[in-house]
Amino acid sequence: MQKDTILFDLINKELERQRNGIELIASENFTSFQVMQAMGTVPTNKYAEGYPGKRYYGGCEVVDEIETLAIERLKKVFNCTWANVQPHSGAQANGAVFLAVMKPGEKFLGLDLSMGGHLTHGSPANFSGKTYHALHYGVTKDGIVDYEQLEHIARAEKPKMIICGASAYSRDWDYKRIRAVADEIGAVVFADIAHPAGLIAAGLLNDPFDHCHIVSSTTHKTLRGPRGGIIMLRNDFENPWGYKDPKGNLRMMSNLLDLAVFPGTQGGPLEHVIAAKAVAFGEILDGSFKDYGKQIITNAQAMAKSFVSRGYNLISNGTDNHLMLIDLRNKNLTGKKAQETLDKAHITLNKNAVPFDDKSPFVTSGIRIGVPAITTRGMQETHMESIVSMIDKILMNADDENTITAVRTEVKSFMQQFPLYPELG
């Protein structure tokens, strides 16, 4: 069979784009080379509907071992007693949690998308907002989760589930406070830690497992694994909503979640991706991962300080984690303009709504910036000033093609210090 040169030329083109650019999208990272190696292996050929030891196909004895290894490593990473590594994505993981906990039309409470939440936390465009009755809390004028508002809505509306977690929030979470009001009204607390999961695994942020019933995450972002999702329980529990098996027994939450993933929302698991997840979880268990997490936070705070010194308006005035959200209105720029202009200089980030934004989600007043990918490349806090300087130069000269060209050259030269995948030549 002839090699598909067209496709592989495009892949090589993407490799060069990644090598030569500054990657600041908060939800992106670079996996290790061995994670990529594991993804491109023969488990991709194997159908394995079901779970280890309980498959609907024969020939699963080896993929059973692969998936079990991923599960056992993940349980060690987060000190949990149960985990499901099959979700194809974070959104799929969240969909399974909803299916296990909620009935259509029932109420849940999550952070509003416009305030930094996620599509699967009740956006009207998403299954979560279409299928269930979504209620929302927001942030204060200072950009901090409005816990008083959360508590007021929870007590008034008595939702079945409260979601904590975000896609554009730069501060840690008070899980204990959320659990207290949830216990008061009999609600389940579901933490979506897709963004800060790696920092939580490293013990650098509050532990949601101490107070939340169910936890989901992606495996990319700060966990630095392949693209995928996971669901975890530190302590399994008997569901309190009366779902019974055919023998009349209440089901355990782990059983409901397993059923919600398969056959509830997915068919065959991607065992080659699960193999890559197992590799990533093994890397997280290495002592060096905590140092990586510490460097992420150090880099993010150094970058935030540099932006503030140049007069940029950071939501909440800083960061506790890997990202920051910047309101560009005082710079007379939209998020869309900033993203598109920086793209020309090979600096990649995303436009993002800011709290109380007066522009549409397609334009936005802000940008979201994250440092996991550049930290993986080996950058330290001393490099953050250089990056902010280049960003500022572009944004303050957004219509000057000469400046954009000059910075693009500067970016490519700067990134030569931080090789990416030398194994690929």
Instruction: From the candidates 151, 192, 271, 357, give the one annotated as an active-site residue.
Output: 192
Cα-Cα end-to-end distance for the chain: 24
With vertex at residue 302, the alpha carbon angle to CA 420 and CA 353, rounded to the nearest 5 degrees, is 85
Residue 238: active-site member = no
What angle separates helix 335-344 from helix 381-395, to the nearest 10 degrees? 110
Torsions phi, psi of 324, nearest 5?
-145, 150
Amino acid at 153: I
Which residue do the tokens 């030269």 mark?
A: 413
Instruction: From the candidates 221, 251, 277, 337, give the one annotated as an active-site residue.
Output: 221
Give the whole-angstrom CA distance, residue 109 versus residue 100: 16
Q: CA dihedral in degrees (44, 47, 53, 58; nearest 10)?
A: -120
Give the whole-angstrom CA distance, residue 32 versus residue 279: 9
Residue pair 386/376 in contact by the 8 Å Cβ criterion: no
DSSP state of 301: H
Instruction: From the candidates 120, 218, 364, 376, give the one annotated as an active-site residue.
Output: 218
Residue 218: active-site member = yes
Do β-strands 188-192 and 161-164 pair in parallel, antiparallel, or remain unpaired?
Answer: parallel
Residue 227: active-site member = yes
Residue pair 107/157 in contact by the 8 Å Cβ criterion: yes
Residue 221: active-site member = yes
Burial of 210 (0-12, 13-18, 19+ CB in 10 A): exposed
Give the whole-angstrom CA distance, residue 297 versus residue 53: 41
Give the whole-angstrom CA distance, residue 394 versus residue 376: 24
Instruction: From the candidates 73, 224, 227, 368, give the one annotated as an active-site residue.
Output: 227
Q: Which residues contact 62 (CB under 8 A, 6 or more apart)?
A: 43
DSSP state of 43: G
Residue 112: active-site member = no
Instruction: From the candidates 47, 147, 243, 421, give the one annotated as an active-site residue.
Output: 47
Q: Sign of the CA dihedral 360, 361, 362, 368? A: positive
| Radius of gyration of the chain measured on its C-alpha atoms | 22
Residue 19: active-site member = no
**59: alpha, beta or left, given left = phi > 0 and alpha = psi -120 to 50?**
left
Which residue do the tokens 């409005």 mark?
A: 146
Instruction: From the candidates 19, 49, 294, 336, give the one annotated as an active-site residue.
Output: 49
Beta strand residue intervals within 212-295, DSSP E: 214-218, 229-233
Q: Among all residues, which ones are annotated catalytic?
A: 47, 49, 192, 218, 221, 227
